Chain A
Amino acid sequence: MKMWRLAIPAIIGFLPAGPSLAADATDWLQRIYSAGERQSYIGTLVYQQGGRTETSKIVHVVDAGGVQERLEVLDGEPREIIRTDDEVRCYTPSTMTVRVEKRVARPGFPERVLGSPKELAEHYRIRKGGTERIAGHECQMIVLEPKDDLRYGHRLCAEIGSGLLLKAQTLGDRQEVIDQFQFADLDIGGRVDHSLLATRVAHGNKPWRVERVEIARGSLAAHGWMLKDLPPGYRLYADLKRVQSGNAEINHVVLSDGLAAVSVFVEPLARRNPPLQLGTSRQGAINIFVRKVGDFAVTAVGEAPAESVRAIAQAVEHRKPSH
């Protein structure tokens, strides 16, 4: 017993001296957002939503060529997504289709929204939770609690060294988990063989149907549209146009509160085939609202409560273009 008491000061001496890096929860958030730009990694990611589970393999390479990554869905319908700084290719083997989205005028990387600490603090209470061990990595939990019911909460677990997210949960207003990403295994850093970035699904002699989309800076206003009475906190973040081969343009704007993002698409209703279904619907954790304005379909999609998505769709108004 005496020996134990003597040992205590020695033990304390060995303990880590307290968080010297990124003590502030908001600093952690910044680290998390930029971690993917700094680190290469390979891992197996498990996505859970509504009782279904989807496992994917991710290869992420950061080098002089920029950021490149490949994701391959391992369960159910095969699918592969390969992404570089200015292009995303989505392969769907079941239909032998590859959708290529190319950014013409680069909005920049990363596109994911992260507002300033001040903006985030307006709508979320951000705090550090405890530490957790996930897939063999020590992680810091960061909790984002919404200040109203117009947005979802989040619980994030970031690897202490790199800031890479090992687990992320979207939370509803009853603290229920709406969806969850978690790495089952993750190897961080080191040189990743570029051959791992090559497609695994698109080989053989059969031709793939290619659908091309170009994304450039757009202007909702120039097309006679405006945003009125957006729900509190949501502001215009991106204004783009999507040009599909042979088709006219689609307006795509992104509304955000600094974290949550809702996209709104405006295009002629007649062009949609199969036709869109009006009203509320969902796809997993994403809520959707479609409404008809004149001959146009206004569609809002995003990871926000259904009511917010609906209100954002309603905020899009058509005004007579001035000639």
Chain B
Amino acid sequence: MKEIEARKEAVSAMLDDELRARECECCSALIKEQPELRDAWDIYALIGDVLRGTPASAMPCSFADRMTAEPTVLAPRALLVRRRMKFYAWPAAAAAAGIGFVTWIFLSVLPAQNVEVASAKRVAVRAQATPTPPAAGRVAGPEIEDYLLAHQPYSSSPVMQGVAPYIQMVSDPSEGAKQ
């Protein structure tokens, strides 16, 4: 355990150009051999990219898997609570804060994200429960859209003041495709 930790430290140091050349070689070899260290390299590299503001083009597989395994939340605080860092043996708070920070920043540098959303630090949504889709039923296409719009003023859903229910009917193009 301690050995792995020390090696991960070395990986981090390598990324930060803190290792001497020979140590680098040794470290590189180990990284190639051990999946845990490879993942650690990827994670550190990702953090580095993000901190430098260069959008990361790919998330390492294990990271992506762990992201999708969690409910969709954007709050670093929520991730702080939920992340199990056994894989990396980092001190819990630091690790979670790191990943949480990365997650939040990563999502905000994605091109699709609106600048308003990215810049408003206050936009930290803690979804109490992940909404699930209704059990069955074909997804209706755009031919029904005018009816949905006409229904919105009466929409109970629920009680949301004013224009808010209109969000419901903004159809997801991909939803129509996957019947």
Q: Are B156 and A112 in contact (CB under 8 A)?
A: yes
A275-286: CB near B (< 8 Å → 1, else 0) gives 111011111111
Q: Which of B122, B136, B160 has the most CB of A within 10 A?
A: B160
B148 at the interface (CB under 8 A from A): yes
Tell me the smallest distance from the CB of B109 to a CB of chain A, in Å: 15
Which residues of chain A have C-beta atoms less than 8 A from B116's C-beta?
44, 57, 74
Q: Does B163 contact A (CB under 8 A)?
A: yes
Residues on B with C-beta less than 8 A from A77 are: 170, 173
> CB within 8 Å of A: which of B102-135?
112-114, 116-117, 120, 122-125, 127-134
**With A261-B154, A276-B144 in contact, do A51 and B133 touch (Cβ < 8 Å)?**
yes
Q: Please, how many angstroms separate the alpha-carbon atoms of A99 and B163 in the complex?
A: 15
Chain A 73-113, CB-CB to B under 8 Å as 1, else 0, gives: 11111010101000010100000000101000000000111
Given contacts A60-B161, A69-B163, contact A179 B144 (CB under 8 A): no
What is the interface size of chain B, counting residues whose CB is below 8 A from a CB of the partner? 55
Please measure, in the bound complex, the distance between the C-alpha atom of A198 and the C-alpha atom of B53, giving whole angstroms. Answer: 33
CB-based contact A83/B163 at 8 Å: yes
B151 in contact with A302 (CB, 8 Å)? yes
Q: Establish whether residues B167 and A112, one from each chain, have CB atoms under 8 Å apart when the complex forms.
A: no
B168 contacts chain A at the CB level, 8 A cutoff: yes
Of B124, B129, B139, which is within 8 A of A180 by CB?
B129
Report yes or no: A32 in contact with B72, Cβ–Cβ below 8 A.
Answer: no
A256, CB-defined interface residue at 8 Å? yes
Q: Is the CB of B170 within 8 A of A76?
A: yes
> Which A residues are CB-close (under 8 A) to B114?
55, 74-75
Contacting pair A58 B123 (CB below 8 A): no
CB <8 Å contact, B132 and A283 = no
CB pair B159 A280 closer than 8 Å? no
Assuming the contacts A101-B150, A179-B168, asked whether A276 and B161 have C-beta atoms less than 8 A apart, the reply is no
Are B154 and A74 closer than 8 Å at their CB atoms?
no
Q: Is the interface of B mostly helix, strand, loop or mixed?
A: loop
Give bound CA distance, A21 to B158, whole Å: 23
Query: Does the CB pair A281–B159 fall under 8 Å?
Result: no
A280–B168 touching, CB < 8 Å = no
Question: Given known contacts A32-B159, A36-B162, A185-B122, is B153 in contact with A111 (CB within 8 Å)?
Answer: yes
Known: A184-B123, A301-B151. A51 touches B72 (CB 8 A): yes
Say yes or no: is B87 at the interface (Cβ < 8 Å to chain A): no
B residues less than 8 Å from A60 (CB atoms): 161-162
Q: Is the CB of B159 within 8 A of A156?
A: yes
A25 in the interface, Cβ–Cβ < 8 Å?
A: no
Known: A51-B130, A77-B173, A281-B138. A263 touches B163 (CB 8 A): no
Min Cβ gap A306→B in Å is 6
Q: How far is the CA of A47 from the CA of B114 in the complex (A)?
A: 16
Q: With A and B bound together, what is the CA distance between A86 and B4 in angstroms?
A: 67
Kindly list chain A residues whose C-beta atoms are within 8 Å of the C-beta of B159: 29, 32-33, 112, 114, 154, 156, 165, 168, 259
Complex interface: chain A residues within 8 A of B127 (CB)? 48, 180, 182
* Pairs across A and B, CB under 8 Å, 8 listed: A51-B133, A54-B167, A69-B163, A164-B161, A170-B157, A280-B137, A287-B134, A287-B137
Give the interface of A toward B (CB within 8 A): 29, 32-33, 35-36, 44-58, 60, 67, 69-71, 73-77, 79, 81, 83, 88, 90, 99, 101, 111-114, 135, 144, 154, 156, 164-165, 167-170, 172, 176-182, 184-185, 213, 237-238, 242, 252, 254, 256, 259-261, 263, 265, 272, 274-277, 279-288, 290, 299, 301-303, 306
Contact surface of B with A, Cβ cutoff 8 Å: 72, 112-114, 116-117, 120, 122-125, 127-134, 136-144, 146-151, 153-164, 166-173, 175
Other than the given A51-B133, A170-B157, 18 more pairs (CB < 8 A) read: A32-B159, A44-B123, A48-B130, A49-B133, A50-B175, A51-B72, A75-B117, A76-B172, A88-B153, A88-B163, A101-B150, A111-B153, A165-B159, A185-B120, A261-B154, A281-B139, A282-B140, A285-B168
